[in-house]
Amino acid sequence: MAADITIKITDREGVVHEVQAPTDMAMNIMELCRSYELAPEGTIGVCGGMAMCASCQCYVLNDVELPEMEADEDAMLSEAFYVKPNSRLGCQIPITEELDGLEIELAPES
């Protein structure tokens, strides 16, 4: 079994959670947040992970290299609120070994 990686997530209340994330379950950052219940159900991953709602928007806090943004994520962020230059959609970031040490903060609910 592949080793877990560590990701630091600041929730919407400002609480920092250091969580272990599996790299072999085809999970993404949005699903990781849901599995640890870091945001109430119904306020994150509303569209199920199709880059269609921006409820999993997060800010990337350190310079861990992430996969390039695809057109649908970019387009969704162009219509989302509270967007910053370091915004990403958690559902579009698959958990891989390269993400070890990543630090993110969940954007406010909108």
Partner 1 sequence: MITTDILIIGAGPTGLFAVFEAGLLKLKCHIIDALPQPGGQLAELYPKKPIFDIPGYPSVMAGELVDNLMEQIKQFQPGFTLNERAETIDKLEDGTFIVTTNKGTKHHAKAVAIAGGLGSFEPRKPLIENIADYEEKGVEYFVKKPEIFEGKRVVIAGGGDSALDWSIFLSNVASEVTLVHRRNEFRGALDSVEKVQELKKLGKINLITPAEVKAIKGEEKVESLVIEREGEEMIVETDYFIPLFGLTPKLGPIADWGLEIEKNAIKVNNALDYQTNIEGVYAIGDVNTYPGKLKLILCGFHEATLMCQSVYNRLNPGKKYVLKYTTVSGVNGFDGTRKEAEKQVVKAIE
Chain contacts with partner 1 (rule: CB under 8 A): 40-43, 46-47, 50, 52-53, 55, 71-72, 75-76, 78-79, 81-82, 110
Cα 69 from Cα 19, distance rounded (Å): 24
Least separation in angstroms between residue 3's CB and partner 1 is 28
**Nearer CB in complex with partner 1: 6/110:** 110
Least separation in angstroms between residue 71's CB and partner 1 is 8
Least separation in angstroms between residue 84's CB and partner 1 is 13
Least separation in angstroms between residue 90's CB and partner 1 is 16
What is the DSSP annotation of 45-94? STTSSSSSS-TTEEEE-S----PPPPHHHHHHHTT-SS--TTEEEGGG-B
**Nearer CB in complex with partner 1: 74/97:** 74
End-to-end CA distance of the chain: 38
Exposed/middle/buried for 10, CB within 10 Å: 0-12, 13-18, 19+?
middle
**Nearer CB in complex with partner 1: 23/57:** 57
